[in-house]
Amino acid sequence: MTVIAVANIKGGVGKSTLATNIAGYFASQGQRVALGDIDRQQSSQLWLGLRPTNLSKIESWPINFDQISTSPKGVSHAVMDTPAGLHGWRLKSVLELSDKILIPIQPSIFDIFASREFLNQLTSYKQMKHISLGIIGMRVDERTIAASKLKEFMDALDIPVVGFIRDTQYYIQMAAHGYSLFDMSPQRVERDLQQWEPITNWLIN
């Protein structure tokens, strides 16, 4: 089983969007996948509750802010959504469970500085030795100066850049109904599926 955590100490960077769509991807591939959420807001679990029963099944992984349990049994992949301000024993517990950690970063100076602090925290944990780490640009408009600054920051890191996700209302609209990108008609979201190709390649390799 592979456990994938989506983490950043900065709030509002798109962790839940990323986590739910990762779970949606594995479900669309016929994999048995579980989705857990240790954020007090439980956004990923809310999304899971909205998910229509006729879509590919995603199981609930019963973890929460105060009890980060062991990995779920019988699944091929487990996805963990995490809260802002992740640190201390909670961060250590996430690291102990995870095989891969994906760090979403938005193109703003606040996100860049917070992400640098988080990456510095991660390097201090010995558990990081067995974990694959990747970063991903969220809500990126490549025409903007902010996007250029984000790419400069990423290029200076010794961490793989997994991909970029554009700024579009599709993700908000899909989330409101429990859908992921991979539940939609491919023709409708063709551009977004193309952006996800390097991300899914990283997830499965």
Closest CA relative to residue 12, chosen from 96, 106, 149: 106
What was the pLDDT predicted at 57?
96
Per-residue tens of pLDDT for the chain, all 205 residues: 999 999 999 998 999 999 999 999 999 999 999 999 999 999 999 999 999 999 999 999 999 888 887 888 899 999 999 999 998 899 999 999 999 999 999 998 888 888 888 988 887 777 677 899 999 999 988 888 888 888 888 888 888 899 999 999 999 999 999 999 999 999 999 999 999 999 999 999 8
What was the pLDDT predicted at 42?
93
Could you count the other beta carbons within 10 Å of the beta carbon of residue 130? 10
What was the pLDDT predicted at 141?
84
As given in the structure block, the two tokens for residue 41 are: 């807001």
Rounded distance, CA 87 to CA 65, Å? Answer: 12
Residue 53's Cβ-count burial label (10 Å; 0-12, 13-18, 19+) is: exposed
What was the pLDDT predicted at 144?
85
Domains defined for the chain, CATH in brackets: 2-204 (3.40.50.300)
Closest CA relative to residue 162, chosen from 115, 110, 100: 100
For strands 132-140 and 2-6, give the pairing: unpaired
C-alpha distances (whole Å) from 175 to each of 20, 48, 170 are: 8, 9, 8
Whether 174 contacts 13, CB under 8 Å = no
C-alpha distances (whole Å) from 76 to each of 3, 79, 151 are: 9, 10, 33
Rounded distance, CA 69 to CA 78, Å? Answer: 12
Closest CA relative to residue 63, chosen from 87, 81, 85: 81
